[in-house]
Chain A
Amino acid sequence: MSKDRGFTLIFGKLSMRVLGIETSCDDTGVAIFDATRGLLANCVRSQARTHAPYGGIVPELASRDHIQYLLPLIKQVMQQADSDPSEITAIAYTAGPGLVGSLMVGATFAKTLAWAWQIPAIPIHHMEAHLLTPFLDLKTQINFPFLALLVSGGHTMLVHAKSFGSYEVIGESVDDAVGEAFDKVAKLLGLPYPGGPPLERLAEQGNPNAFQLPRPMYHHTTLNFSFSGLKTSVMQLYKKQDQPVSDAVKADIASSFQCAAIDSLLRKCEVAIKKTAVKRLVIAGGVSANKYLRTRLEQLAKAYSSTLHLTDLAFCTDNGAMIAYTAYLQLTRSYYKKRSRDLTIKVRTNWIISDSHDF
């Protein structure tokens, strides 16, 4: 095997070191993952401050930030990893799904750099990378099959991961993503963007049973989710309160909302465990940083004697480490992409996860 396939021979030993680039949405992430030493460096530049004044992501501003900060981040991780360009054996980049302008920056940069360094460029599916993140080290063995709850600002889905590269979406949100609902309710309560973390902190001070909120689709037999009805109910509830709404009431609203949203997530996980009889559960994506969700899932796993794989807090939101790691897995399992030397620059904004090894 040669560098052509993402490996290089050093002193007779196969070596592999992947530079991962993530620019699918609003965070610029770059990392280096080494086949023998694991993660060597991981830098993320959050764009929260850029988008905060708008209360949500402005795609054009996201792209502008990516082009400005990607190269400095690459230099930073190369330095942190004490890595020379000649030691990098492959470049992985998020090719979808995501915002077209954001994806294009990372894809173009990655392809050009790979061409200049004469190494393969590996297109990675953003959600596959999220789903594999709980295993992001060299010690944890990945055992298939497992159920994955992927919860972020753009996605809410339950995936049945049957084997590496074989992923079936068994449930997803029919409207808003759960992270989006957190962000919108947070905005209503006057919290800064992104709203998930401050909303969670506020919820800790409130009573989760203070208000009765709906859990849409709770009793549906499908594994699909819905969060827009819950969001609307919270808005109506807020309007009905004495204005200005006191901090204590805000905390109660936050707590009741969080409880309702997470009840819905839990319910579908439980149904999925029963339906599939799969005993391993993985949770990833930005919302998986939520402590209340983590605790509830631990209880659920215990009740069903299942194993729960939580994502390290540092890797819940978008990052380059998961991209580099997924490429490393693909390369070691010979999922070598024939087209990795192809110099046409392509991204797939609506790439579905069941197709993740087919670019």
Chain B
Amino acid sequence: MIKANTLLALDSSVIQTASVALQVHSEISYVCLNDQHHHREKLLLTIEQLMRQKSLNLTDLDGFVWTSGPGTFIGLRVAASILQALSFTTHKPVYAVSTLRVMAQRALLNANPTVRRVLVAISAGQRRVYWGVYGLNDQKLACSLQDDCLALPESVPLPEGTMQDQTCLAIGEGWLAFKDSLKQCCADLHLIDIQPSFFPRADDALHLAVEDCLPLGKWVSAEEILPNYLYPTVAR
């Protein structure tokens, strides 16, 4: 297991926000950038400011965490470029968490305890959504019930079996853009609320990394820090 007292986490996987979180022992500092047009430009600056506030040097960090997608391509690559460079210079490893899982984690922990499933949808362009279905495991960590995928809003897949008996919550701005189609697909489910203004946060990624991944040791080195686009190839 890697010593992980000091960790830096980044999210810039959606258009609306970007965020940075820094964990020093059990204390977490968090900065969210909401200026849609400039948040990517300011990501590195924000990291520097946060580190300076905490009087930390890069050499003090034990590792890095990021939301690796799915999400906006340029945003994912900005985070990936920053982390590749930082991991390369510090020789410290990186852990990647799914953007949809990070969103589901917060939603499940904050929701009314009857909620057992979270349906995450974010717009993917070309009239498609990134789609994930999550529940909590015994350790209170979000777990996917099927692979995150790229889907048409009219035909998002649902896991086989027990979904009908479960209370569900819908999150992500995909639910605003494609509300009717998605609702229709989920017509058989017990959907109690739709929360479109729900975005990934770097501190939740940090939480998942510390709780779940550190013991599993799923760290990667700098060259392996690549976005999970979910768009396998690009149409012309």
CB pair A116 B81 closer than 8 Å: no
Q: Which of B85-93, B105-113, B130-138 contacts A (4 or more CB under 8 A)?
A: B85-93
Inside 8 A of A117's CB, which chain B residues have their CB? 89
Inside 8 A of A63's CB, which chain B residues have their CB? 73-74, 77
- Interface members, chain A 103-130 (any B CB < 8 Å): 104-105, 108-109, 111-113, 115-117
Q: Which of B140-148, B184-192, B206-214, B220-228 contacts A (4 or more CB under 8 A)?
A: B220-228
Inside 8 A of A247's CB, which chain B residues have their CB? none
Q: Is B43 an interface residue (CB 8 A)?
A: yes
Inside 8 A of A85's CB, which chain B residues have their CB? 89
CB pair A101 B73 closer than 8 Å: yes
Given A58-B234, A60-B234, A345-B40: A68 touches B226 (CB 8 Å cut-off) = yes
Inside 8 A of A105's CB, which chain B residues have their CB? 77, 81
CB pair B44 A111 closer than 8 Å: yes
Inside 8 A of A112's CB, which chain B residues have their CB? 44, 81-82, 85-86
Q: Is B41 an interface residue (CB 8 A)?
A: yes
C-alpha gap A345/B38 in the complex (Å) = 9
C-alpha gap A60/B236 in the complex (Å) = 10
CB pair A104 B234 closer than 8 Å: no
A67's contact among B42, B88, B226, by CB below 8 Å, is which? B226
Q: Is B84 an interface residue (CB 8 A)?
A: yes
Chain A 51-84 interface mask (CB, 8 Å, partner B; 1/0):
0001000101101100110111011000000000
CB pair A108 B234 closer than 8 Å: no
Q: Is B58 an interface residue (CB 8 A)?
A: yes
Inside 8 A of A109's CB, which chain B residues have their CB? 81-82, 84-85
CB pair A116 B78 closer than 8 Å: no
Q: Report the contact-size class of chain A (Cβ under 8 Å from the partner).
A: 20 to 34
C-alpha gap A329/B85 in the complex (Å) = 26
Chain B 134-162 interface mask (CB, 8 Å, partner A; 1/0):
00000000000000000000000000000
C-alpha gap A112/B80 in the complex (Å) = 11
C-alpha gap A287/B55 in the complex (Å) = 52
Q: Report the contact-size class of chain B (Cβ under 8 Å from the partner).
A: 20 to 34
C-alpha gap A194/B89 in the complex (Å) = 36
Q: Is A346 an interface residue (CB 8 A)?
A: yes
Q: Is A236 an interface residue (CB 8 A)?
A: no
A117, A345, A346: which has the most chain B beta carbons within 10 Å? A345
CB pair A113 B89 closer than 8 Å: yes
Chain A 259-287 interface mask (CB, 8 Å, partner B; 1/0):
00000000000000000000000000000
A58, A68, A71, A105: which has the most chain B beta carbons within 10 Å? A71
C-alpha gap A244/B44 in the complex (Å) = 57
C-alpha gap A345/B77 in the complex (Å) = 13
Inside 8 A of B193's CB, which chain A residues have their CB? none
16 contacting pairs across A/B (C-beta < 8 A): A60-B73, A63-B73, A67-B77, A67-B226, A71-B88, A72-B223, A101-B74, A108-B85, A109-B82, A109-B85, A112-B44, A112-B82, A113-B89, A116-B89, A343-B44, A345-B40
Binding site for B on A (CB under 8 A): 54, 58, 60-61, 63-64, 67-68, 70-72, 74-75, 85, 100-101, 104-105, 108-109, 111-113, 115-117, 343-346
What 9 pairs between A and B have smallest CB-CB spacing?
A112-B85, A108-B81, A116-B89, A343-B45, A109-B81, A113-B85, A60-B234, A343-B44, A112-B82
